Amino acid sequence: MWYSDKIHENLRRLNDCDEVGEIILIDNNSSLKPMHIPYRSKLRYLPQNRNIYVNPAWNLGIQESKYNNICISNDDVLFDTDVLKFIKPHLSEGIYGMSTGNYYGVDKDKSYEINKLDHRPWGWGCLFFINKDNWIPIDERLKIACGDDWLIHHTKSGAYEITNLDLQDDKVSTTAIRGEFSQIQKQDIELWSQYSH
């Protein structure tokens, strides 16, 4: 958190969007928090005393949400909030994440499309949408990796990808690329392999 400047623009867009009732910001690195967070009329800031990691933070966000329709976004991803209106009618069933192609540009002449998944594509969990009633809490032993695999595997009515959504990301992945977290990721993958076989 806070390594990417995109978080501020994302907060502004979400705060200004009529489809958004609240923004829950779970900060696993509150020591780096800026002095002022702009655009905060809808914001609920939840700093953590320690790093609870990605998947437990997702569970916490769902638990804290006052609303049923949920969008979970990485802090370094900037997206067009028009997708919120598009996805809303679909959220009664399933879970919807990103197509890998969204990270490499879109066809401006095409609108968003939804495709059923048979496996998790790269980048799918950087931005995804679900109804709170469909959430199956991620095993708290999974800290960093495989939370998106858990959701795809456990969500009733299946998982889908959204295509042709213009995304900007910094590819920061600060938790994932830091060596101190490699052992946790390895343990996550080993645990997930027990679930998936």
pLDDT in tens, 2-43: 566 778 888 899 999 999 999 999 988 777 666 566 667 899
Q: Which of 40-44, 57-61, 160-164 has the lowest mean pLDDT?
A: 40-44
Q: What is the pLDDT of residues 63-106, one digit of tens each?
A: 999 999 999 998 888 999 999 999 999 999 999 999 999 988 88
Residue with the bigger pLDDT between 64 and 49: it is 64
User: Which of these, 72, 130, 126, 62, lies nearest to 96 by C-alpha position?
Assistant: 130
| CB proximity list for 174: less than 8 A, separation 6 or greater | 3
Q: State the pTM of this model.
A: 0.90
Residue 116 CB neighbour total at 10 angstroms: 9
Domain ranges (residues) in the chain = 6-192
| CATH class of the region 6-192 | alpha beta
Helix (H) or strand (E) holding 51: none
Is residue 118 pLDDT above 90, yes or no?
no
Residues of the chain above pLDDT 90, percent: 65
* Rounded average pLDDT over 163-188: 76
